[in-house]
Structure 1
């Protein structure tokens, strides 16, 4: 069983749903053939380990929403102590990390967003990373957080699967009746991003409940720097199977349906599609998520060297892009 301290989930997605208390990595291959015959296969793999250029840190599994398709379910409430989390981030920076993306669960839920804010500040101010980003459902974000930590954040991505409140209710992207509107939060946060100079992004999971929805008008109005569109994906043990906490089968759409949604929104220039074919490089080659040992225990190279990775697919899916707000030349 993997250490509960800092699991390393091998993935190349900047998704908002992957693994708890986990550093999940997107990397590029570091060239250089191994020379010599006196080392084991494992040592050779470590020697030729990949560079964690872009990292997703899913430091919590807890979430206040109940999205029916979510494949990052709350199996534990464990969150690393702040200083241990910082140590892991420092190790990743030393190994070549350029971009960190904080996710969950809902990352603003733990310690009312202050834990997240301190990590964001540390990554930008102390580690001087070119890009620091967050994926959130937006429900817990307050303007005070922007006032305290906004200057250290490059990109804030808000998950929004529909611009119809009834559809969001069916999906589970809501805190229940009588609570704040998910769409009101979305537009409010968009305004704060403009005010505090944080690049704004939207993530949407396309499923049976929204596959026929035309989102063009709203996306154009919100004008995100990127609109990441995911095809609903099943992961055994998370949102599918006997031990899963979700039953997402009813949300799954075909490849053809997903392509038809993309075709219907082809005029939206910021759209970046993420099909199931591209998302399967989560190290879920056996139909599940298999974490490595903790980077705090074995180091970055040892933790990532036994995974499968397709650099061509990483580039095709738009994994490398302009991710520092200083380079985006946005009109604030």
Structure 2
């Protein structure tokens, strides 16, 4: 494959837990599990070992060049579920990433952020992503963005937390993620964007992987995108096809996994710490051209 003329970073998305304090209807963070195998997040030395192996593999020039992705420092993106349910493991992973030459980022629903946590996390991160699908309490409840105690995301507290993050790390990139689904496609999120002030807003279409009842039509998805055209300069729009085989993803048990174009569900590798990243990565499909198209289309890249 021809290498991109501009440096393209390898982004490795590690979903370190399936657990979440919210229960979004469309959530794809559900994996086939070997009940006898613990999630790596349960043992901090496994967290560090996985990050070290990913760093070794993806910092190898040969690996990057094989997929036309060489030139920029790889990034470990820590996601879930809700990763901040395991905040100490997140901090350990982010710190280990820096030690092995990876940049680090996290994706969170924001509900567990505190000013103290923001103060301690910010120096270790290049990016923090926040997932928000609606600014309306009623819609967030219907979507499932509410915890077992009935608590919703506190937008006022979120604003204060982002002030701490930016003060502690002025170079921190802030990203907003929104999944367009049957319950929010008519929403106007302008006030949310103004509050978060993201450098990038990724607008994704709900994947029919877990709950097909949450999907939207082409016209509904485009209506949401058009309604927010004022934010075109920071928007990254991803339809379902854009997401197939175009992310590098690791599940909570330390396996590479990939969206399957042929059926609902995922394909999995053997555990990375058992067989090594080289062998595991060969066991799942990855479409480098589709990955690179995000950059050539000026859509800002992966998660």
TM-score by length of 2: 0.78
Aligned runs of 1:23-42 on 2, under 5 Å?
A: none
TM-superposed CA distance for 1:54, in Å, is 1.5
Aligned equivalents of 2:31, 2:22: Cα separation in 1: 11
Q: Which residue of 2 aligns with 1:147?
A: 119
Q: Which residue of 2 aligns with 1:82?
A: 44
Q: Where do 5+ consecutive residues of structure 1 fail to align? A: 1-28, 32-50, 240-247, 324-332
Matched residues, number = 261
Aligned equivalents of 1:309, 1:103: Cα separation in 2: 19
Aligned runs of 1:129-144 on 2, under 5 Å?
A: 129=102, 131-144=103-116
Aligned equivalents of 1:217, 1:160: Cα separation in 2: 12
- Aligned-residue CA RMSD (Å): 2.6
Larger radius of gyration: 1
SS class of match (2:182): coil
- Cα 1:276–1:305, aligned 2, differ >3 Å: closer, same or farther? same
Aligned equivalents of 1:178, 1:208: Cα separation in 2: 22
Q: Is 1:68–1:171's contact at 8 Å kept on the other side of the alignment?
A: yes
1:292 equivalent to 2:252? Answer no
1:109 equivalent to 2:90? Answer no
Q: Which residue of 1 aligns with 2:24?
A: 67
Q: Where do 5+ consecutive residues of structure 2 fail to align? A: 60-73, 246-257
Aligned equivalents of 2:167, 2:155: Cα separation in 1: 19
Q: Which residue of 2 aligns with 1:128?
A: 101
TM-superposed CA distance for 1:57, in Å, is 0.8
Aligned equivalents of 2:259, 2:45: Cα separation in 1: 28
Runs of 4+ in 1 over 6 A off after TM superposition: 74-77
SS class of match (1:56): strand
Q: Is 2:57–2:277's contact at 8 Å kept on the other side of the alignment?
A: yes
- Cα 1:185–1:261, aligned 2, differ >3 Å: closer, same or farther? same
Q: Is 1:132–1:155's contact at 8 Å kept on the other side of the alignment?
A: yes
- Cα 1:104–1:178, aligned 2, differ >3 Å: closer, same or farther? closer
TM-score by length of 1: 0.71
Aligned equivalents of 2:229, 2:76: Cα separation in 1: 29
Aligned equivalents of 1:257, 1:322: Cα separation in 2: 24
Aligned runs of 1:163-174 on 2, under 5 Å?
A: 163-174=135-146
